[in-house]
Structure 1
Amino acid sequence: MAGLILGVDGGQTSTVALLATRTGKILGTGYGGPANHIHEAGGMERMQRSLRDAVLGAFEQAGILEIAVESACFGMTGGAELIKQVAPQFIRADTLSAYHDVVTALAGASVAAPGIVVIAGTGAIVYGRDRAGNEAKADGWGYLMGDEGSAYDIGLQVLRAAAQARDKRGADTLLQTVVPRFWHKADLAGVRAVLYTDQMTRADIAGLAWVAFCAAESGDKVAQDILANAGQRLAKAANSVIDALKVVGQNPMVYVTGGVFRAGHWVLDPFESNLKHFSPNVEIKMPAFPQVIGALLLAHQQTGAAIDEPFLANLRQTLPARLQNKSAAPNCDDLLV
């Protein structure tokens, strides 16, 4: 339908779709389940269902019956190459594009400008694009081969530090106490009893990044070192992208996003110092918008329209509170009792 644009973010835990006018007014928001791991049993069907639920939900909230747009852009954790055969099953779009979600993450962070985005959530990846359109990427290899500096990586280090302290193989640390408390277990033996079962997911282990933050805030040197190490690893990946794009002598914009950076200065300070040692002129910023807005911005550009301030002002005014960037530190009150 002329005058409407759609942005979709298909992620590891959920999917969100935004329907908007070409003036930037968001009319409807829809949600669906996870849209990744398409090669697992039932993965393709799950992705289709999640995308359909999110897109139709956005149209339903907007009160629009005809499921059609002038332009649509999908940012996908996995399966971007399949969107052009999947999406037409539930939506008609005059122009349709799909990218890996690092592309839409950068678009949202930088308002579709060149730059570098460092994403550190359950996994970790760095992506950059220069003014000429050249691209570079580092990490994103998954939890077995990479994801260094991610919440999952931090979680593994937390578990090992707690076990080493228990055995007197490593430094004494508050982690030995707070890890069992985090999972409502009596001790580390209770943690081990569930850790090697299908009850424990990668997301559960990534949740221990919160434990590391709380212990660091309480003065625990081991936890502080774990978070500093994460910042250093993320900086190393970012430096790799800066080098690949040959922007070392310039003033590259680096945007940081993801739950790991909610740890604040424990991660950001070593990240910044290591980054600026390699590229002194780098500027570190928080994202302007979440990555689903990045998809919406790219959909808008596909119509040939410019991204101007009135358009951005409408986005800011109509973006649901649930989707606004959250950077508040975790609450440690319940953990450190």
Structure 2
Amino acid sequence: MSYIIGIDGGGTKTLALLADLEGNIISTCITGPSNPNTVSSRALSHTFETIFSQFKEEAPEAFSKLIGIFAGIAGAGSSMIQTQLYQLLDALSPSACRVTVQPDAINALYSGTLGKPGVVQISGTGSLTFGINENQQQSRIGGWGYLLGDEGSGYDIGKKGIAAALHYLDGKINKTMLLKMLYDYFHVDTGRDLIDQIYHNADPKRSIASVCRLVFQAYQSGDKAASIIIDDAAWEIARNIHLLHKRLFSVGEQINVVVCGGVFQNSIFPTLIKQELNKIVSGITVITPKLPPVCGSVIGAYLSEDMNISTDSMNRLQNFQSNK
């Protein structure tokens, strides 16, 4: 029996699974961050060393029979960073073990398409539209960070919600319930105090992104300002998906779009995106992930070994998810 490792690396934590080729999970590891853009080389090495030492200790025979490692890592968008990560992982791997490094968006994609081509729309604090076609061509739209883009992200929606509340305070727009909601949320009584709470926060980006939830609440209560913000966010995401579909797929080609991230915890948002997509493109089905992203990395490892993934193997991965 041969074995693989799937790794889902992020800015706060890294998850890894040691699995056989039939979808059985042998060992699980949760350790520190592995985004090379936000952690030092030393910390990055420590994260990977922790994974390999744990698997080697818990399942020495399986570890000695590793044939493939698939690492989907946040921040691994450039060939230079992918090479850096490859060298770290290859040095820790048994000989003759294939190492593949890709952006973490692939893990999210495969967690929904189960290894098939398609598009993933990630909307959390940030936003990214990423896709792969039948020829394994990859492309992306967005993901330029909160200073320059990230339309449809939690940060984008939260920032616009705060701005709308302040515009109401200044008399620029009609009344919006967002102002009172923000006062209550931040425990303040004035616009000046609200701004101080945000600017003096230890992590203002995440503080602003957390306001996204309030904007959705106001939207569902019929608030006009919130409605404009949410409708615009749905349109921006639908446009990105449409543009990526044109870039990677033929006209009318049927694909799945996986939507994941904190913004989609509000069930109304996928519906709004579907409505916008129906106005501009055909052949797209919006779905939610069937597996956690780390299981998507296991699927990536299987595909890197040119395996045909059986229904039984996929069911075992899904059973692992249901037991977590």
TM-based fold match above 0.5: yes
Whether 1:194 aligns to 2:203 is no
Gaps of 5+ in 1: 323-337
Whether 1:64 aligns to 2:59 is yes
Show the counterpart of 1:332.
none
Show the counterpart of 1:21.
20
My pick for the range that moved more, 70-79 or 191-200, is 191-200
Contact 1:31–1:57 (CA<8 Å) still a contact in 2? no
SS for the counterpart of 2:147 is helix
Show the counterpart of 1:167.
170
Show the counterpart of 1:180.
183
| Offset, 1:301 | 2.5
C-alpha separation in 1, matches of 2:156 and 2:280: 24
1:155-304 to 2 correspondence within 5 Å?
155-197=158-200, 199-265=202-268, 267-304=269-306
SS for the counterpart of 1:145 is coil
Query: Aligned pair count?
Result: 316
Q: Give the counterpart letter for 1:269 in structure 2.
A: T
My pick for the range that moved more, 51-60 or 216-225, is 51-60
1:139-150 to 2 correspondence within 5 Å?
139-150=142-153
Show the counterpart of 1:30.
29
Show the counterpart of 1:312.
314
My pick for the range that moved more, 212-221 or 236-245, is 212-221
SS for the counterpart of 2:146 is helix
Contact 1:126–1:140 (CA<8 Å) still a contact in 2? yes
Contact 2:270–2:286 (CA<8 Å) still a contact in 1? no
| Offset, 1:221 | 2.6
Which of 76, 91, 94 is 1:92 aligned to?
94
Gaps of 5+ in 2: 77-81
Q: Give the counterpart letter for 1:3 in structure 2.
A: S
1:87-166 to 2 correspondence within 5 Å?
87-92=89-94, 94-166=97-169
> Root-mean-square deviation (CA), in Å?
2.3
Show the counterpart of 1:328.
none
TM-score normalised to structure 1 length:
0.85
| Offset, 1:55 | 4.9
Over 3 Å counting, the alpha-carbon distance change for 1:179 and 1:45 in structure 2 is farther
SS for the counterpart of 1:260 is helix
Contact 2:126–2:143 (CA<8 Å) still a contact in 1? yes
Q: Which runs of 4+ in 1 moved over 6 A?
A: none
| Offset, 1:59 | 5.8
Q: Deviations over 1:82-127 (max 9, x none)?
A: 2211124544361111001122222222111111111111111111
| Offset, 1:45 | 2.6
Q: Give the counterpart letter for 1:29 in structure 2.
A: T
Contact 2:259–2:270 (CA<8 Å) still a contact in 1? no
Over 3 Å counting, the alpha-carbon distance change for 1:203 and 1:318 in structure 2 is same
C-alpha separation in 1, matches of 2:241 and 2:170: 36
Over 3 Å counting, the alpha-carbon distance change for 1:286 and 1:181 in structure 2 is same
Contact 2:26–2:59 (CA<8 Å) still a contact in 1? no
Contact 1:114–1:129 (CA<8 Å) still a contact in 2? yes
Q: Give the counterpart letter for 1:32 in structure 2.
A: T
C-alpha separation in 1, matches of 2:50 and 2:197: 33
Show the counterpart of 1:325.
none
Over 3 Å counting, the alpha-carbon distance change for 1:52 and 1:156 in structure 2 is farther
Show the counterpart of 1:326.
none
C-alpha separation in 2, matches of 1:318 and 1:59: 21
My pick for the range that moved more, 222-231 or 120-129, is 222-231
Q: Give the counterpart letter for 2:14 in structure 1.
A: T
SS for the counterpart of 1:319 is helix
Q: Deviations over 1:176-218 (max 9, x none)?
A: 1222332344443223113223613322221111111222233
SS for the counterpart of 1:244 is helix
Q: Deviations over 1:236-282 (max 9, x none)?
A: 110110111242322222221111112222x2233112212221232
SS for the counterpart of 1:288 is coil
Contact 1:6–1:299 (CA<8 Å) still a contact in 2? yes
Contact 1:149–1:234 (CA<8 Å) still a contact in 2? yes
